[in-house]
Chains A and B, each alone.
Chain A
Amino acid sequence: MKLAQYVKFREERFGGVLFETRSEKVFALNPTASAIVREIARDGSDEPGLVARLADLFRGSRATIETEVAAFVGDLRSRGLLED
């Protein structure tokens, strides 16, 4: 999975922004969401791979990371911000 063609990501002091340049909509990300998007933008892979990399980066239970990543990735997909 990767960011959709017209989606740009930039890190900010508060986390980050996703800018969908076709609809010209901006989405503000908190630091956790920004960390996930950074990993997707850096090295697009499948969801299990993403969870594994985030588990290496952050402390916390793998089950919690899996749940949060699944919900967040689903949210991004439903808004057309991710593609395979």
Chain B
Amino acid sequence: MLEAAPPGEAIPSATPARTGAGDLGAPLYIAWQVTNECDLACLHCIEESGPGKAFRDELTAAQTSAFLEQVAAEQVPYMSFSGGEPTLHPRFFEMAAYLCERQTQLKIETNAHGLTAEGCERLRRTGVKAVQVSLDGATRETFNRMRVRGDFARALQGIAHLRAAGVPVEINYSPTRFNIHEIGLAVDLAYGLGAESFYTGRTMYTGNAVKTWHRLAPSEEQYGGFFETLHAKTREYAGRMRVHFHEMGLLEELRYRLRHPAALLIVLPNGLVKLINALPFVCGDLRRQSLKEVWANFQRAWQDPRVSQFVEDLANDPRKTASLHQWVFL
């Protein structure tokens, strides 16, 4: 009666198991980039977020409300707010409360720099499932180098406020050639800070990373040691903290996705909906279409030959990911 995703096919993101996204009546997971505005300007940011980088056409209050009402009506079980920096959105707490009151589990992905003790207490009362903090370094030196305008101490302070309030914490870590050697220390630090989960994977060549790749890109040898350490840390922290990591390369993952699209919608700040972050294809516009219409189009769009062609072209030219922000409408 109960059927799980086969172990070899389990990918730590929303997976549709053997049902296939096409069998589901609605998405299982919506990752919403609520704004492109950010107080930091990170070297690797795939969204090219930063101060003054909010889209001119981000969803209005009315459009946002209409979207969230549909999320609740369709019983989408899981949603994340990211950005940019989602806590900078003027209706951040209101939107979080709306979803949590309607039983959607909500994860916040933040740089934690603006998290006050009062704000974290409010998040706990709201009932968010977890707050995932980007901590790309185990030391001030590497963190501050990666997170331009950011400060290691402020991120740690934000995490401390979360823990004091009793909000579950997760840590996300993006490796680069100058911080990758700290991965073991970073996992230890995450555990010491009280994190329940640690997430990492290969850093993607897109967004700001296109301009800074010569400073960021780890070598395959570095990645070898990185994943070896992560396997060891997974065993070390088993039963105490989950260590999630994507070892497969982008091409391998996209080929898998062509066969098994995740039941996941990526919603941009202006309501456009992407097939997946690592592809330039847009399959809907929530300003003009209902969530149900977008979901139907999402399933058709994965079958579009332009999608499989793009993935195969990546095999010859991995740098095609530089064009992910040149949206292609399906």
What is the interface of chain A, defined by CB distance below 8 A to chain B? 6, 8, 10, 12-14, 17, 19, 21-30, 32-33, 36, 68, 72, 75-76, 79
Contact = CB atoms under 8 A, between A and B. Distances in A.
Given A12-B25, A21-B105, A26 B19 contact: yes
Interface residues of B, number: 30
Contacts of A23: 12, 242
B229 interface: no
A12 B78 contact: no
A24 B25 contact: no
Contact of A17 (B19, B197, B242): B19
Contacts of A19: 14, 28-29, 77-78
A25 B10 contact: yes
B73 interface: no
Interface stretch (B1-9, B34-42, B210-218): B1-9
A17 B24 contact: yes
B244 to A, nearest CB: 8
Contacts of B29: 19, 24
Interface in B23-74: 23-26, 28-29
Nearest to A8: B77
Contact of B17 (A10, A17, A68, A72): A17
Chain B interface mostly: loop
B274 interface: no
B242 A21 contact: no
Contact of A33 (B2, B75, B78): B2
Contacts of A68: 1
B18 interface: yes
13 contacts: A8-B77, A12-B24, A13-B23, A19-B14, A19-B77, A24-B78, A25-B4, A26-B14, A27-B2, A28-B18, A33-B1, A33-B2, A79-B4
Contact of A26 (B1, B5, B75, B103): B5
A28 B19 contact: yes
Given A12-B23, A26-B19, A27-B17, A21 B77 contact: yes
A24 B12 contact: yes
Given A8-B78, A25-B10, A14 B15 contact: no
A27 B3 contact: yes
A11 B21 CA distance: 14
Nearest to A18: B2
B171 to A, nearest CB: 14
